[in-house]
Structure formats: C-alpha cells, structure tokens
Amino acid sequence: MKKFLAVLHARNMEFLRDRSALAWNLAMPFLLVFGLAFTFSGGNKDIYKIGIVGGMDRMVSVAPKLQSTQYLEFITYDDLNKGIAKVKHHQMDMLIDVSGTPKYWVNSSSPNGYLLERVIRGTEGNQFERQTVEGAEIRYVDWFLPGILGMNMMFACLFGVGFVIVRYRKNGFLKRLKATPLGAFQFLFAQLISRLLLVMVITTIVYAGCNLFIKFNMQGSYWDLLLITTLGAMSLISIGLLIAARTASEEFAGGILNLMTWPMMLLSGAWFSLEGAAPWVQNVAQIFPLTHMISATRVIMNEGATLSQVMPDVWILATTSVIILAIGAYIFKWE
C-alpha cells in the first residue's frame, strides 16, 4: 500500500503542476457546454420524427399515404413504452402503433405533434385512435450534456494515461522503477486511481459550474450518475493503460489512441442519436464503453431511470475495466 500511495501521490503532483494541461481540461468543456447551449437553443427541426410500433411493412399497408409523405422520418420500435417516453419528452413528434388497432400518441404541448395530427387526418382520415401524453420538453443542451462530458472524459482518460506511460518508458523512468519492489499491477492501478480522481473532480467542477447558469434537467439520482461516470472513466482509463502497456513510441501511441477515440466519438451517441441508423452500426456502437456510459447517464438525467434499469450498462463497464486492466498488467513491459 505504501508503494501504491507513493506512485499515486507522485502522479497527482505531476499533473497539478502542469498548469496549462489543468487549465485546458477545465476550460474546454465549459466552452463547449455554453457554446452549444446558446447556439442550439430553440428552433424546430425540418424533419418530423414518427416512431412506429408493429413494423414498417404493417405501416405501409395501414397508412400508405402517410408513409409516402415527404419530410417525415420513421423510426421503428419494439418497445411501446420506450416510444411513448420519447414522445413525452419531445424527443419524438408522434408514435404510431399498427400492431393491433391503429393508434397514435402525441404530446399535448408539442407544436410538431399538432401539425402531424392534421397531416395524419388529412391523409388517412380518422382510422387512427388518438392518445395523448404530457411531459416537459428536454432541451438540446440537456440531451447533449452527457455527450460533452463523456467526450472530455474520454480524451482525458486515454491520452492522459497513454502518453504519460509511453513518455515514462521512453525517457527511462520505467526502467528505474523496475529496480524497485514496485509491481506492474501496483503501478498501473496507481495510474488508474490518480487519473480517475482528477477526471472525476474536473468533471464535477464543470457540471456544477455550468449548472449554476443553465440549470440542467436532473430527474434521477446523483449517486447513480456518479457510479456510472466512475465506472465509465475506469473503463476508458483501462483502455489507455492497455495501449501503453508495451508501446515505446509516442507517435505510434498517438495513432492508436486516435484510432480508438474517433470511432467512439462518432458512434457512441455523443454528438447525435443513433436511432434510425443501420442495425449493424448500432451493434458496433455497443462495443465501446463510452456508448454505455453516455446512454446510461442520459436516461438517468432526462428520464429518471433507476440503477436497476441501467444495470446492464453497469455490468458491462465494470467487467470491461477489470478484464482490460488485468490484461494490461499481464503484458506490461518496463523497458
């Protein structure tokens, strides 16, 4: 434990003394949150989103005129309750159920839903049974916040650990540590805890600071949110440790880290929702821990999901962290 604490303290002091890196890690997410909050506040989309329960083939046979109407995007759902929740929070303009008696759900306070009701009556008459739900709109910044914070955590975890260990190996610092009683697992675990503490403190400061001015939507538990983000950060840090376990070139490490970050940034749902994307794209996105962290934090914050409802994401993040850290410690090379 003394060896572990010594390495942990040394790494924390090294980061805190790098004032430029510390300032950038604090300033960048603040700028992103405020910029996007004011840039994308308000305004309706050009394409109306309609959820379909019962399959598109059934939809075409029941409402052929509506299905061929322009500027409508149809997204299929297997779970009726999930679709209704989307309409409730204004994340979808209308939900149509054609699995039995044709029905549609709209939010009574949604202007898009009102227009779509006029469209469906004009194209298909009164064959659909009307259902209404009520719920507050989730602002774009509320939806986007987990993606911003998750993306900032991803870069801080991967590059903040990967480059550091590669630099240690390149300048001979790890070679000197090899002559000490310090084990590979102790060293890597100290790096993980050090980076985890710093990332969580910075993320908490950014969230609390932005929340003073923007007042984010928070329906769930802060403790559940803390658990998910902690496990997500541990999983991302473990990936950075694995990449740096045997790498001696900073250029090669940078290429591998970029190869990991770009797919996660594009497919994890940080920038845009993957609903309506090809099934194989959604399946590939499930490989990345950032996907599970962002999706779980979104439903906790915006839909009030409990820990039991996001437990699959919890197990995936925890298992990923343990397995990758164990592999990294096993293949770790001091020199």
What percent of the chain has a predicted confidence (pLDDT) above 70? 88
Question: What is the count of structural domains for the chain?
Answer: 2
Residue 267 contacts residue 274 (beta carbons within 8 Å): yes
73 and 28 housed in the same domain: no
- pTM confidence score: 0.69
15 and 61 housed in the same domain: no
pLDDT for 131: 87
The overall average pLDDT reported for the chain is: 82
Length of the chain: 335
Evaluate if residue 8 carries a pLDDT over 80. no
SS3 132: strand
98 and 206 housed in the same domain: no
172 and 278 housed in the same domain: yes
3-state helix, strand, coil in the chain (%, to 5): 65, 10, 25
CATH number of 67's domain: 3.40.190
Of the residues 133, 167, 187, the one at which a domain ends: 133
pLDDT for 37: 60
Please tell me what DSSP assigns to residue 289: H
92 and 168 housed in the same domain: no
Summarize the confidence of residues 135-150 as an average pLDDT. 78
153 and 27 housed in the same domain: yes
Evaluate if residue 269 carries a pLDDT over 70. yes
166 and 264 housed in the same domain: yes
Of the residues 98, 133, 168, the one at which a domain ends: 133
Of the residues 103, 133, 163, the one at which a domain ends: 133
30 and 124 housed in the same domain: no
Summarize the confidence of residues 171-188 as an average pLDDT. 82
pLDDT for 23: 66
178 and 261 housed in the same domain: yes
| Boundaries of domain holding 81 | 48-133
Separation CA 309–CA 304 (nearest Å): 10
156 and 245 housed in the same domain: yes
33 and 54 housed in the same domain: no
* Phi/psi of residue 77, nearest 5 degrees: -135, 145
pLDDT for 224: 92
Residue 18 pLDDT grade (very low, low, confident, very high; cuts 50, 70, 90): low
Evaluate if residue 32 carries a pLDDT over 80. no
13 and 102 housed in the same domain: no
HSE on the CB side for 75, CA within 13 Å? 23
Evaluate if residue 46 carries a pLDDT over 70. no
Evaluate if residue 42 carries a pLDDT over 80. no
Summarize the confidence of residues 141-157 as an average pLDDT. 85
